Homo-oligomer: A and B are copies of this chain.
């Protein structure tokens, strides 16, 4: 039931290479020969063996996408767009989960290049630039700010400006005691650092004090962490009138904690997030957020990878910026 070029060739009465030529769309094949070969291919339901092709050509048509967690909606949505964007190039996407653990990320960065994939789109959490330094040349595109100083092509969004703008939105609505949830002490929190900087910028520009006690750390950015941080803020006695959560799942957790504390959103406390995940469009209340253009991020990443694959692998690395917009919903709507 599984056939090779040889089987097709015998059936069509031509050489193996001629069948290969038909399969690959080589021009100089007589129409009647081509027809005979195609018929044989159809009859035998022949499909090329990708491993053999790869071995010979050095290309698999498979790229990998490595993300920390698939069940974080942001990454799931991103994965969907990457799969779609890659399909335009005829690529299949192999998705890898690193759990955000440095060891696993290292394995992925080096080990996944076991010649099965042509390139890698990588969203690291813990990886350092050194980890990437000694790598052989499997083309790679990095997502996000984690690894700076260009060891590879990269797609980012302007986190500082986006964070500043969403904070400004809160200020314009009249909020004065604006908390932030999601700061991180470790080196791993590159996004956290930038979003915190944007938040501080906005406060400063508006002449508001930056108050340490209003800034709550969150080691991970899941719903549970957001809920815990919000409860912490509420019980500590600081009474914020608005909260900027560094991502949407944190914000959803915060909404939950505020609900449990009997506070209304946005009347008592306004809430904004970051990422624009699907949940935030249906939560109660719906969530105001920074909406990075995930589709564009995916497209840019795939495009960078394609250029790297087809072009000069030693060319200087590039960094592209994807657009975003503010998505204002009920959680900051003025009553």
CB neighbours (8 Å) of A84 from chain B are 97
Cα A93 to Cα B45 in complex, Å, equals 26
Cβ–Cβ contact A137 & B49, under 8 A: no
Cβ–Cβ contact A92 & B96, under 8 A: yes
Which one of B70, B92, B115, B282 contacts A79 once the chains associate, using CB atoms below 8 Å?
Answer: B70
Cβ–Cβ contact A51 & B60, under 8 A: yes
Closest-by-CB residue of B relative to A69 is B80
Contact flags A227-265 to B (C-beta < 8 A → 1, else 0): 100000000000000000000000011011001000000
CB neighbours (8 Å) of A223 from chain B are 278-279, 281-282
CB neighbours (8 Å) of A279 from chain B are 223, 252, 279
Contact flags A85-122 to B (C-beta < 8 A → 1, else 0): 00000001111110000000000001111111000000
Cα A71 to Cα B94 in complex, Å, equals 16
Assess A49 versus B60: contact at CB under 8 Å? Given A71-B278, A92-B94, A94-B95. no
Range, interface on chain A: 35 or more
Query: Does residue A166 face the partner (Cβ distance < 8 Å to B)?
Result: no
Cβ–Cβ contact A115 & B1, under 8 A: no
Query: Does residue A47 face the partner (Cβ distance < 8 Å to B)?
Result: yes
Query: Does residue A55 face the partner (Cβ distance < 8 Å to B)?
Result: yes
CB distance from A265 to the nearest CB of B (A): 10
Query: Does residue A77 face the partner (Cβ distance < 8 Å to B)?
Result: yes
CB distance from A35 to the nearest CB of B (A): 22
Which one of B50, B97, B112, B281 contacts A115 once the chains associate, using CB atoms below 8 Å?
Answer: B50
Assess A136 versus B1: contact at CB under 8 Å? Given A48-B114, A70-B76. yes
Assess A51 versus B47: contact at CB under 8 Å? Given A1-B137, A93-B95. no
Contact flags A48-79 to B (C-beta < 8 A → 1, else 0): 11111011000010100000011101001101
7 nearest CB pairs, A to B: A1-B136, A95-B95, A51-B54, A76-B76, A51-B51, A49-B115, A94-B94
Could you give 7 example pairs across A and B, Cβ below 8 Å?
A: A47-B114, A51-B116, A55-B55, A92-B112, A223-B278, A227-B282, A256-B283
